[in-house]
Amino acid sequence: MQAISRRSLLGGLVLLAASPSLAAPAETLTVDAGESPVTLNRFASGRPGKRPAALVLHGSRGFDLRPQAYQRYANALTADGIDAYLVRYYTPADEQAFKTLNTRETREAYETGRFDAWATRVSSVLSAVLAGADSSGRIGLLGFSLGGYVAAAAAARDERVSALAVLYGGMPDKIAPQVKRLPPMIELHGEADRNVPLASGEALVRLGKSVGAAAEIVRYPGKAHGFDFADNDPMTADAVNRVAGFFQARLNAA
């Protein structure tokens, strides 16, 4: 476990107009994913040649809740030579459902029934990105909250995932007993999180270690759910730097 430091494509993709909700992505693309296409915002690193990539999976309220927070991660990844893809894994039916689910219990029941489908949609995106002429063949998943659960589920089922970073998430209960492998992973979690208890992140890391994965957790004392979305908190920079450093080490490896 690390202590907290204060240091600082594409086969099968269709090009669309740039997204107005996120600051200047290089391009917006779609991937055919069965139920409905998945939309991606692609931030390409300026590094020439073949490059690794990271797929970024949003929380339950999507990227438009705090676009600048996700943008920070994309900027840090591309600065390290890693292409970043912000993956809108919801279907139109998911988006409609989340507008009408009014209680935590109904939302959690809906999510439980959708994890398999969402993980499959993420794997479709993996296939498309890895087929790109500029892909190095190494790809990671970065998930926030609900997206962290989706990322963990997809990583457990898709051996092409080379690294997994989860912020205040875990492994879906229905999938955990089936897990036989996981890639190297890091979990970042606030100790005062009331939305996703710290125990969920700790359980994911224990699960990773139990199947032989290199797995670590970084705990943030006093921090609540989504702590890294704050613009002026030093721990925001700490989280972004840790995630970027983790992917730089795992995805740029020979």
> DSSP letters of 37-72?
PEEEEEE--S--S-EEEEEEE--TT-TTSSHHHHHH
Least confident of 22-31, 62-71, 135-144, 241-250: 22-31
Please give the pLDDT value at position 254. 53
- Sort strands 51-57 and 83-88 into parallel, antiparallel or unpaired: parallel
Please give the pLDDT value at position 11. 38
Please give the pLDDT value at position 26. 66
Least confident of 10-24, 37-51, 169-183, 213-227: 10-24
Please give the pLDDT value at position 14. 42
Please give the pLDDT value at position 253. 66
Is residue 206 within 8 Å of 179, Cβ to Cβ? no
Distance from C-alpha of 29 to C-alpha of 40, rounded to nearest angstrom: 5
Considering only residues 254 and 240, tell me which one the structure prediction assigns the higher pLDDT. 240
Average pLDDT over residues 88-95: 96
- Domain extents for the chain? 13-251
Please give the pLDDT value at position 102. 87
Distance from C-alpha of 173 to C-alpha of 181, rounded to nearest angstrom: 16
Summarised one tens digit per residue, pLDDT across range 213-240 is: 999 999 999 999 999 999 999 999 999 9
Summarised one tens digit per residue, pLDDT across range 32-73 is: 998 999 999 999 998 999 999 999 999 999 998 889 999 999
Average pLDDT over residues 15-32: 60
Residue 17 has pLDDT above 60, yes or no: no
Average pLDDT over residues 97-125: 95
Residue 12 has pLDDT above 70, yes or no: no
- Sort strands 185-190 and 161-167 into parallel, antiparallel or unpaired: parallel
Task: Give the CA diameter of the chain.
Answer: 48
- Length of the chain, please? 254
φ, ψ of residue 24 to 5 degrees: the values are 45, 60
Please give the pLDDT value at position 65. 85
Residue 19 has pLDDT above 80, yes or no: no
Domain 13-251 fold is Rossmann fold (3.40.50)
